[in-house]
Amino acid sequence: MKQISTAILGATGYTGSELIRLLDAHPHFAIAHLGAHSQAGKLAGEVLPGLAKNIANMPLLASDTPLADGIELVLTALPHGAAAASVKKALDAGCRVVDLSADFRHQSAATYAEAYGQAHPFPELLNDAIFGLSEYARADIADAQLIANPGCYPTCTLLPLLPLLKAGVIDTSRIIVDAKSGTSGAGRSAKTDLLYCEINEGVRAYGLPRHRHAWEMEEWGEAFSGNPISVQFVPHILPMTRGMLATLHVSGENPDNWHQLLAEAYADEPFVQVLAEGSLPSSKAVNGSNRCDIGLCVTGKNSAVVVGCLDNLLKGAAGQAVQNANIMFGFNETLALSAHAVWP
């Protein structure tokens, strides 16, 4: 059976540990290198107590450890800013890369600087990166050396929005995106405002006046649909471990036809499920799966609410990354990703 030797950089983080779980069950990707930063030098199982014995005994390698000969695929699950240099090194070593960070998600260095407040260290690579929203970029992903894996909020927003944008049926001048995420969306590093006492039994908005992902939604909403869009995006953090839900308030003519547009767009997609009209998605029904569930409810003569829902660590990150790696290497796109949600 064909084996692709694979490195995971940022293996000790929340998305990195999901990559381990998915790839260890994959018939063709063999984990050969686990990279870490502050935890380098320990065994994987000392830092990630959920791992089974075969991986628990693998060493965590420092960021500057060279990739061994024969590694073909590198998955980078590092903070933005830190990811770019590791991606460059992996590309220079001839590897194909799926980067889960935001470092290659924008087509221009100016947009990256505006959204992330720092200059891009390798602007010459931006044109080569393919934005890996799997359902919309399959042909480009198949040939790519570098995939910029989309953000969790943009995936949760663009999948419900794009069929309506492409059909030109909604007002694109102000789309309200009211979104919620579990705390794993903020990563594993210690932060005071994520302490149990500060997050439990509460909810709060954050990231205003303009969260970084607003640029990503607008850039790729326009790129995939041909229509410029303007989003008013407000994320909220909830006291739950994982799960993400985006409620889109949209207006336009004949909203009674919109459910059919969504259902037709995703009829053959294994990981996008359009619920019956009027049914609304729930994070409990997708967590643990690589699915994005979409619901639509017509709320007025010219308005509707469209809701996207996914597991931020799976379809919002590691799941979509493995889906993209499957496409890159010509494997069945669903390999290692067909798990149902963990219920309840």
Ligand X SMILES: NC(=O)c1ccc[n+]([C@@H]2O[C@H](COP(=O)([O-])OP(=O)(O)OC[C@H]3O[C@@H](n4cnc5c(N)ncnc54)[C@H](OP(=O)(O)O)[C@@H]3O)[C@@H](O)[C@H]2O)c1
Contacting ligand X within 99-138 (CB under 6 A):
100-101
Any contact of residue 312 with ligand X (CB under 6 A)? yes
* Spatial CB neighbours of 100, under 8 Å, sequence gap ≥ 6: 10, 15, 75, 76, 77, 78, 83, 149, 317, 318, 321
Any contact of residue 26 with ligand X (CB under 6 A)? no
**Which residue pairs from 108-114 have beta carbons closer than 8 angstroms and sit at least 24 positions apart in sequence?**
111/215, 111/219, 114/215
Distance CA 20, CA 12 (A): 9
Kindly state the smallest distance separating residue 49's Cβ from ligand X, in Å.
Answer: 14
297 catalytic, yes or no? no
Check the CA dihedral 147-149-154-160 and report its sign: positive
Q: Which CB, 285 or 313, lies closer to ligand X?
A: 313
* Spatial CB neighbours of 208, under 8 Å, sequence gap ≥ 6: 234
Q: Which of 77, 164, 336, 341 binds ligand X (CB under 6 A)?
A: 77
Any contact of residue 184 with ligand X (CB under 6 A)? yes
Name the CA radius of gyration of the chain, rounded: 19
Kindly state the smallest distance separating residue 344's Cβ from ligand X, in Å.
Answer: 21
Kindly state the smallest distance separating residue 244's Cβ from ligand X, in Å.
Answer: 8
Q: Which of 138, 166, 188, 249 binds ligand X (CB under 6 A)?
A: 188
Q: Which CB, 36 or 238, lies closer to ligand X?
A: 36
Let me know: does 158 contact 316? Beta carbons within 8 Å.
Answer: no
Pick the catalytic residue from 95, 152, 156, 292: 152
Which residues contact ligand X (rule: CB under 6 A)?
10-16, 36-40, 63, 77-80, 82, 100-101, 151-152, 184-185, 187-189, 312-313, 316-317
User: Which residues are tagged catalytic?
Assistant: 152
